[in-house]
Structure 1
Amino acid sequence: MTYSRYVALGDSQTEGLGDGDDVRGHRGWADRVAEHLARANPELLYANLAVRGRRAAQIRDEQLPAALELRPDLATVMAGMNDVTRPGFDPAAVAGVVEDMFAALTGAGAHVVTVTFPDISRITPLARPLVPRLLDFNDRIRTAAARHGVTLIDTFPLAYIADARMWSFDRLHASPAGHARFADAVAHALGLPGSDDTWMAPLPPLPTPPAWRLAATEARWLAAYLGPWFGRRLRGRSSGDGRTAKRPLLTPVIREDQSISGTSSAS
């Protein structure tokens, strides 16, 4: 199928953090998917409503009405990880919010693509206590996706997803390589021309670094990212405070050596 109106809903991953920066712009997997779609249909129009830090209910309340007004024939929904990491997380309630989006978008005629989240304890060992709630949430998303005919990309079983090369140094956002892999996964799930299942292939192994280097890396990460993250939570702040969608309207896609937003590519 050729798509003509693609709308992406979500948080920082869909906004593209980890693939570019706030000066040059963020590319990300959704922009990459749009580029792939535009190769099949140069008339494609694309909007990205995602805003970093948004929780599932905020995405539903802020982005879904705008998405429906844009009348997409393809929509991607990535929501819930910012809820999983919060105290008092209710997997049934948050999955219900995500299912609201599935129902509204498919009911409006859009083909919807969504995702399960990877085993974050293999990326950040300190997140191990969160794994049971993540497993519960992923199961609910699988069920909701099946109920509404939503295409699901199941990342949790893929061991290579936890490879450090797939993640930025903050361990919260995909690296350019990670964004590219997930874009390939969406393209393959949609059966786009030129796509295949190589996105599932494991990465070649790397030598095991010495213990001192691992310890130094861990110390830098704790100081640079985990501390500020906890600080924002304690103050009730979000990285997305005061921010709006980078691409709120359906506009044509710029491909090749330029990003979707018209700035230099960050890949």
Structure 2
Amino acid sequence: MLGDSTAVGLGDPLPGGAWRGVGPLLADALGVDPAGYLNCSFTGARIACVRAEQLPAALAHRPDVALLVVGMNDTLRSDFTPHRLAADLDHVLTALARTGALVLPVRYHDHGRVFRLPGSLHRALRARIGDLNGAIDDVVSRHGVPCLDLDAVPGTYELSSWSVDRLHPSELGHRLLARGFSDLLGDAGYEVPSPVSLTCSGGAQVSALDHVGWLVAKGIPWLWRRGRDLVPHAAGIMLRSAADRRRCGPVQEEAPVTAH
């Protein structure tokens, strides 16, 4: 498993404080021995982090299958550069393919619909995600590997699929991701002895007080840090939109269409 905090398992806590998430859920479905499962991911990771810091350990492990969940953190940073992201992603897929691994990346949904961002920030993030998906699509097409489209995963835009921060999947969300990956593996000819259940079990019970504590201690500070990078981009979109409206003038109503 390579990637960011979703790959770490955030949103699916276990009793005792550890995280579970999509990787272990899928490993259980495949019947993978725990000793054969390696999670190289860490919170805050970007695609360049996967290439520089996570890939060497993954290559040494020589996996049969590698899940890659990364890219959303890149969309929130001021140095967002799609062609550089594509180059790093291409390097990761090429290196893992040389070891015989099947790499399963993801392409992203419109997360502004989940997080309920203000209009300009939502448009800015949606544009960034579109550019990120374009880079991912190009690399996936070049390598001919399956890709999990999060926009098409059932339940993606339902709040029950997300933890209280609306940034990370809930236990149900992680189960939906694991099932999506297992479907791709089944289509690729891999045996899935125990289909991923969508019934939540084994995770820690999270109280309303836990939710509020997370939001105050981590959620709001996180949004403040990331917003400082995204807000200038959003402001640029607003200014360009206003300039376009001035050039085009008032919108004319279309004449009604008359049937003949």
Is 2:16 the counterpart of 1:26?
no
Aligned-partner residue type, residue 35 of structure 1 = D
Indicate the residue corresponding to 1:228 in structure 2. 221
Distance 1:122 1:195 in 2: 33
User: Contact 1:113–1:153 (CA<8 Å) still a contact in 2?
Assistant: yes
Aligned-partner residue type, residue 74 of structure 1 = V
Instruction: Note the aligned Cα RMSD (angstroms).
Output: 2.9
Distance 2:226 2:115 in 1: 18
Q: CA deviation at 1:85?
A: 1.1
Indicate the residue corresponding to 1:36 in structure 2. 29
Unaligned stretches of 5+ residues in structure 1: 1-7, 200-218, 237-267
User: Contact 1:116–1:154 (CA<8 Å) still a contact in 2?
Assistant: yes
Indicate the residue corresponding to 2:185 in structure 1. 190
Give 1:1-20 correspondences, 5 Å limit.
Answer: 8-20=1-13
Distance 2:138 2:227 in 1: 34
Q: Provide closer, same or farther for how the CA distance between residues 175 and 198 of structure 1 changes in structure 2, counting only shifts above 3 A.
A: closer
User: Contact 1:10–1:78 (CA<8 Å) still a contact in 2?
Assistant: yes
User: Contact 1:188–1:195 (CA<8 Å) still a contact in 2?
Assistant: no
Q: Which runs of 4+ in 1 moved over 6 A?
A: 195-199, 219-222
Give 1:113-192 correspondences, 5 Å limit.
Answer: 113-126=104-117, 127-128=121-122, 129-158=124-153, 160-191=155-186, 192=191
Total equivalences in the alignment? 208
Indicate the residue corresponding to 2:86 in structure 1. 95
Q: Provide closer, same or farther for how the CA distance between residues 159 and 136 of structure 1 changes in structure 2, counting only shifts above 3 A.
A: farther
Q: CA deviation at 1:230?
A: 4.0
**Using CA pairs below 8 Å that are at least 6 residues apart, which structure has the higher relative contact order?**
1
Q: CA deviation at 1:233?
A: 5.0
Indicate the residue corresponding to 2:97 in structure 1. 106
Structure in which a larger fraction of residues adopt strand: 1
Q: CA deviation at 1:46?
A: 0.8
Structure in which a larger fraction of residues adopt helix: 2
**Bigger Cα displacement from structure 2, 43-52 vs 137-146:** 43-52
Aligned-partner residue type, residue 132 of structure 1 = A
Using structure 2 for the length normalisation, give the TM-score: 0.71
Aligned-partner residue type, residue 134 of structure 2 = D
Distance 2:14 2:33 in 1: 27
Distance 1:193 1:133 in 2: 35
**Matched position secondary structure for 1:76:** strand
1:21-49 Cα distance to aligned partner (Å, 9 max, x none): 694310000111111111xx658711111
User: Contact 2:7–2:21 (CA<8 Å) still a contact in 1?
Assistant: yes
User: Contact 2:11–2:170 (CA<8 Å) still a contact in 1?
Assistant: yes
Q: Provide closer, same or farther for how the CA distance between residues 197 and 45 of structure 1 changes in structure 2, counting only shifts above 3 A.
A: closer
- Structure of higher CA gyration radius: 2
User: Contact 2:76–2:227 (CA<8 Å) still a contact in 1?
Assistant: no
Aligned-partner residue type, residue 12 of structure 2 = D
Q: CA deviation at 1:160?
A: 2.8
Distance 1:198 1:33 in 2: 10
Q: Provide closer, same or farther for how the CA distance between residues 151 and 91 of structure 1 changes in structure 2, counting only shifts above 3 A.
A: same
Unaligned stretches of 5+ residues in structure 2: 199-211, 230-260
User: Contact 2:106–2:150 (CA<8 Å) still a contact in 1?
Assistant: yes
User: Contact 1:116–1:155 (CA<8 Å) still a contact in 2?
Assistant: yes
Q: Provide closer, same or farther for how the CA distance between residues 20 and 101 of structure 1 changes in structure 2, counting only shifts above 3 A.
A: same
Percent identity over the alignment is 37
1:143-172 Cα distance to aligned partner (Å, 9 max, x none): 211211222011124573011100000011
**Matched position secondary structure for 1:123:** helix
Give 1:39-50 correspondences, 5 Å limit.
Answer: 45-50=36-41
